[in-house]
Amino acid sequence: MEYFEDVSVGDTDEHGSYEVTAAEITEFAEQYDPQPFHTDPEAAADSPFGGLVASGWHTAAATMRLLVDGHLSDGATRGALGVDELRWRRPVRPGDELAVTTEIVDKDDWDDESGLVSVRITTEVDGEEVLSMVGLVLYERRETR
């Protein structure tokens, strides 16, 4: 279990990989972001993207899954206060394999039981950044103050 006291500014980590499929792109989009370039391959071909692309929200959700599987399930996290600086750098396409890295960029006291950790999260495909954000994560303290 990793507590607030265990993380340090500058710590980095990698969080596995995940291949995005055309079926899940359209399924996610039909439910949450039903724009034609996410739901209809023919319409997407005539869009500025030139083909089917994942919703940015889908990319963020897949990123979160990799974070939970790769780190958060072993951390004494208490949830998050949100994200800052969310950016979608380029579209994710069917067959793209997402890889997530994190870097601790700041940590501050929050209350007697928790500390606030700012984590730069980067999602890449073949070394090219497709998403970046800074997560504001509450970590449990090993011992309350």
CATH of the domain at 13: 3.10.129.10
Classify residue 55: in a domain, yes or no.
yes
Classify residue 106: in a domain, yes or no.
yes
Q: Which range marks the domain in which residue 43 is found? A: 4-140
The count of structural domains within the chain is: 1
Which pLDDT value is given to residue 145? 75
Classify residue 14: in a domain, yes or no.
yes
Q: pLDDT digits over 80-99, tens only?
A: 999 999 999 999 999 999 99
Which pLDDT value is given to residue 75? 77
Classify residue 110: in a domain, yes or no.
yes
Average pLDDT over residues 117-136: 98
Paired strand residues for 54: none
Q: pLDDT digits over 102-121, tens only?
A: 999 999 999 999 999 999 99
Classify residue 145: in a domain, yes or no.
no
What pTM did the predictor assign?
Answer: 0.93
